């Protein structure tokens, strides 16, 4: 029996669980979704939400890559867990750094939903319809690089803030279009704002995009056991391969890097990409393997990462930073 199964067998049901989360509308939706899932598992448990403002939420004046990267969205949540004020934290997995701080672990990754990017515009239906010189807003260097590669005639500008803020800026006429994660729009009831979806062939998703991750202290065996039933095996393996690819390439918020793995014909098919920010240098690769364990998935990501390094990814990444 897996270690988690043994833990569940001998651990009593939790009496109280506190979920730390950012206070954006999307983060709160995700925390409430996890709360409902936990209450369904443990009806007698008191599941509470602790909303926190992170440094990443406070510093909206600069691109995220310039102020410390995605770790700024989880530092305060980890502090709350370290101090015993929270038992777990909910994250969009794409916002979780490739390397967690010592003493923390991803206890469960929930079933992935839509991992695609969404094209949002009030005037145009598809990216290809935008006239030359049109301004497209995005917060992601990954999206920016792929946009510049495919549509060098467009002007790409950084766009930060929560989903509502970005939609408001679009509605004010600041951009002709913006690119967002499709799942965030869908979760907040803005699916009707999506003009079209970008398939992975056109915009390869971020590592972990579309998946929710639950983090806790590594020494909290009780919390690990309580969260284990929420984990989805296929998503766990797919995102383990993606994150191993990112770690191999030292992926960070300053890195235009993408990876997306899906189950296909009994195998896990992993596609990866690294690029320069201007989109002039882009390396792509893919590999597939039959998987049995988490170690197999990580090995798949490491092999693809090593392959891109052998093809010159280090030079591309050096030029991107």
Give per-residue pLDDT as tens, 213-226: 999 999 999 999 99
DSSP SS3 for 158: strand
What is the CATH code for 241-320? 3.30.160.40
Q: Work out the pLDDT band at 245, boundaries 50, 70, 90.
A: very high
Alpha-carbon distance of 5 to 188, in angstroms, equals: 34
Asked if domains 3-110+211-231 and 117-198 share a fold, the reply is yes
The distance of Cα 144 from the centroid of its chain, to the nearest Å, equals 16
Check if the beta carbon of residue 207 is closer than 8 Å to that of residue 98.
yes
Query: Does position 231 have pLDDT exceeding 50, yes or no?
Result: yes
Distances 296 to 58, 288, 289 between C-alpha atoms, Å: 39, 11, 8
Q: Of 180-189, 219-228, 242-251, where does mean pLDDT reach its minimum?
A: 242-251
User: pLDDT tens digits for 132-159?
Assistant: 999 999 989 999 999 999 999 999 999 9
pLDDT of residue 73: 72
For residue 288, CA distances in Å to 268, 299, 310 come to 5, 11, 18
Q: How many whole angstroms separate alpha carbon 309 and alpha carbon 248?
A: 9
Q: Where are the domains of the chain?
A: 3-110+211-231, 117-198, 241-320
Domain 117-198, architecture per CATH: 3-Layer(aba) Sandwich (3.40)
pLDDT of residue 67: 47
Could you tell me the fold of the domain covering 3-110+211-231?
D-Maltodextrin-Binding Protein; domain 2 (3.40.190)
> Residue holding tokens 């390397």?
99
Which pLDDT tens digit goes with each residue over 258-302?
999 999 999 999 999 999 999 999 999 999 999 889 999 999 999
Q: Is 294 exposed, middle or buried (0-12, 13-18, 19+ CB in 10 A)?
A: middle
Give the catalytic positions in this structure. 95
pLDDT for residue 250:
82
**Which pLDDT does position 318 carry in this prediction?**
79
* Selected residue with higher pLDDT from 274 and 160: 274
């Amino acid at each position: 029996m897996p270690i988690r199964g043994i833990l569940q067998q001998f651990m009593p049901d939790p009496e109280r669980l506190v979920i730390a989360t950012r206070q954006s509308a999307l983060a709160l939706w995700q925390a409430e979704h996890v709360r409902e899932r936990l209450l369904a598992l443990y009806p007698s448990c008191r599941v509470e939400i602790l909303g926190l403002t992170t440094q990443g939420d406070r510093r909206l004046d600069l691109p995220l890559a310039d102020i410390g990267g995605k770790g700024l969205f989880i530092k305060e949540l980890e502090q709350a867990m370290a101090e015993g004020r929270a038992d777990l934290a909910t994250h969009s997995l794409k916002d979780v750094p490739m390397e967690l701080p010592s003493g923390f672990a991803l206890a469960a990754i929930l079933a992935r939903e839509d991992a695609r990017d969404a094209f949002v515009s009030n005037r145009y239906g598809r990216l290809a319809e935008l006239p030359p010189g049109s301004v497209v807003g995005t917060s992601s260097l990954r999206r920016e690089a792929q946009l510049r590669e495919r549509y060098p005639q467009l002007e790409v500008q950084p766009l930060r803030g929560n989903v509502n803020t970005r939609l408001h800026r679009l509605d004010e006429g600041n951009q002709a279009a913006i690119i967002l994660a499709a799942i965030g729009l869908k979760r907040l009831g803005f699916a009707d704002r999506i003009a079209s979806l970008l398939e992975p062939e056109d915009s390869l998703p971020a590592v972990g995009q579309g998946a929710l991750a639950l983090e806790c202290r590594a020494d909290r065996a009780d919390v690990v056991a309580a969260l284990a039933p929420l984990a989805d095996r296929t998503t766990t393996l797919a995102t383990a391969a993606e994150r191993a690819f990112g770690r191999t390439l030292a992926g960070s918020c300053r890195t235009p890097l993408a990876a997306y793995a899906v189950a296909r014909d009994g195998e896990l098919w992993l596609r990866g990409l690294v690029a320069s920010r201007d989109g002039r240098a882009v390396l792509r690769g893919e590999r597939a393997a039959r998987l049995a364990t988490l170690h197999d998935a990580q090995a798949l990501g490491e092999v693809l990462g090593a392959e891109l390094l052998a093809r010159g990814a280090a030079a591309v990444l050096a030029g991107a930073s």
